[in-house]
Amino acid sequence: MSTATVVRQTPAAHAKRALLARHHIVAPSLKVAEVAAASVFGAARQRGPIARDAIARVTGLSIATVNRQVTALLDAGVLRERADLAVSGAIGRPRIPVEVNHEPFLTLGLHIGAKTTSIVATDLFGRTLDVVETPTPRGSQSAALAALAGSASRYLSRWHRRRPLWVGVASGGVVDSTSGYLDHPRLGWAEAPVGPVLAETLGLPVSVASHVDAMAGAELLLAVRRPNTQAGTSLYVYARETVGYALSIGGRVHSPASGPGTIAALPVSSELLGGSGKLESTVSDEAVLTAARAQRIIPAEGPTSTMATLLRAARGGHEGARALLAERARVLGEAVALLRDMLNPDDLVVGGQAFTEYPEGMELVERAFADRSVLGARDIRVTAFGNRVQEAGAGVVSLGGLYADPIAAMRRAQQRRSEAAVLGAS
């Protein structure tokens, strides 16, 4: 063992690393940003290549402000000029279009699910570059976090031509976004230092968010924006192995300081799906699979005792399989109606594989919703991200800081990178 290795592993050095890691936990920014640099960057992201005068028109900023912000964003490296697209005969740099300089960078997202963790690389447009899935580590909390951090580190080592800027984590449970700590009863985690462990291991700023808040943020920031989503309210309802909801108000995901509310125990009724009387334990994947096994629609155990097998059976005409999925759709539709009647949002979105893996059931969801709701007719919109909603959520948490203030985010990412390099050499 070398002398340098011994020094790096001393308690004092480890404590210093941990302290610096805590300083680089950044609360997620799941909102439509208003600062000038963010508006200019957003215009380039959504409409680029774009000229400065066009940016001024779409943002409402003065041309002088746009010029200053474009210069700063070029210096930060997140925009680049396209001289090849300048109007023929035009004189001066303001006539040169700019676009997002996405090739040199990526952000890293982790969606920590009850059973599976997704690790996703995202570019500055919010597009998924690559994603891998791994079983969520079991065992002791510290060992599980070390395993997750190790997997993320190995994954990043594959990206030789792109510089990572930020890490975003989306997870179930109760998230303290200020400290990056997480309580996740289903995993047996209590005050788990998810953010600090990742910041220390990866040497990057880290943001941690509730996974349903993150998915609502993806609809707000990455999906095609609809007229009411910025000024009004949007309700997002999620269902897969867990259930949850998030509310966006005025272009911002509402994230209570004490963590998101829960709809897991929302009262429902379904003898076919177990009769627990609670939403999550009635419509979760595990509840549906338990009912399918009891009816011998799928094997009691083994590699084919899965949702994929049940879905194939339903599409193949198996009446029992269809009945189970139809019952799940009914219960979900009535639950969504109850939430809608309580909150009456301007926009209503559903996501998660309980909705998207069996699109044939959406007609049943909508019918149950219409029958149960006591308010006027309202369309239900299915997430723009389909079965990729978890990775989109993790991706937007990793991008939120950049979208909110790209210049400050690049400065913070560079500072964290420099500190990590100094510690690594010590």
Q: Give me the DSSP letters along 325-339.
A: HHHHHHHHHHHHHHH
Residue burial 113-134, b: 16+ Cβ < 10 Å; e: rest:
bbeebbbbbbbbebebeebeee
Cβ-proximal residues to 359 (8 Å cutoff; 6+ apart), any chain: 382
- Please indicate, yes or no, if residue 1 is contained in any of the structural domains: no
Q: Is residue 8 part of a domain?
A: no
Residues 306 and 177 in one domain: no
Domain end residue (candidates: 62, 81, 100): 100
Name the average pLDDT for the chain: 89
Residues 251, 351 within the same domain = yes
Do 75 and 109 lie in one domain? The reply is: no
When pLDDT is averaged across residues 350-377 and rounded to a whole number, the result is 96
Task: Let me know: does 281 contact 241? Beta carbons within 8 Å.
Answer: no
Tell me the residue range of the domain where 40 lies.
36-100
How many domains does the chain fold into? 3
CB 100 within 8 A of CB 107: no
Tokens 């019918």 sit at which residue? Answer: 367
Kindly state whether residues 133 and 86 are assigned to the same domain. Answer: no
Res. 307 pLDDT band, cuts 50 70 90: very high
Question: Do 230 and 336 reside in the same domain of the chain?
Answer: yes
Domain's final residue, options 84, 100, 116: 100
149 and 191 co-located in one domain: yes
Judged by DSSP in three states, 243 sits in strand
Q: Report the amino acid identity of residue 309.
A: T
Which of 229, 217, 258 has its CA nearest to residue 400? 217
Residue at which a domain ends, from 100, 131, 149: 100
Note whether 378 and 239 are same-domain residues. Answer: yes
Q: Say if 16 falls within a structural domain.
A: no
**Ramachandran area for residue 48 (φ above 0: left; ψ -120 to 50: alpha; else beta):** beta
Whether residues 259 and 401 share a domain: the answer is: no
370/280 Cα distance (integer angstroms): 21
Q: How far apart are CA 328 and CA 282, in angstroms?
A: 8
Q: Assess if residue 96 is contained within a domain.
A: yes
Range of lowest pLDDT (88-97, 169-178, 188-197): 88-97
In tens, the pLDDT along 234-261 reads 999 999 999 999 999 999 999 887 777 8
- CA 105: distance to chain centroid? 18
Q: Does one domain contain both 374 and 246?
A: yes
Domain holding 141: CATH number? 3.30.420.40
Reported as a pLDDT band with limits 50, 70 and 90, residue 110 is: very high
Least confident of 18-27, 66-75, 326-335, 366-375: 18-27
Confidence of residue 200 (pLDDT cuts 50, 70, 90): very high
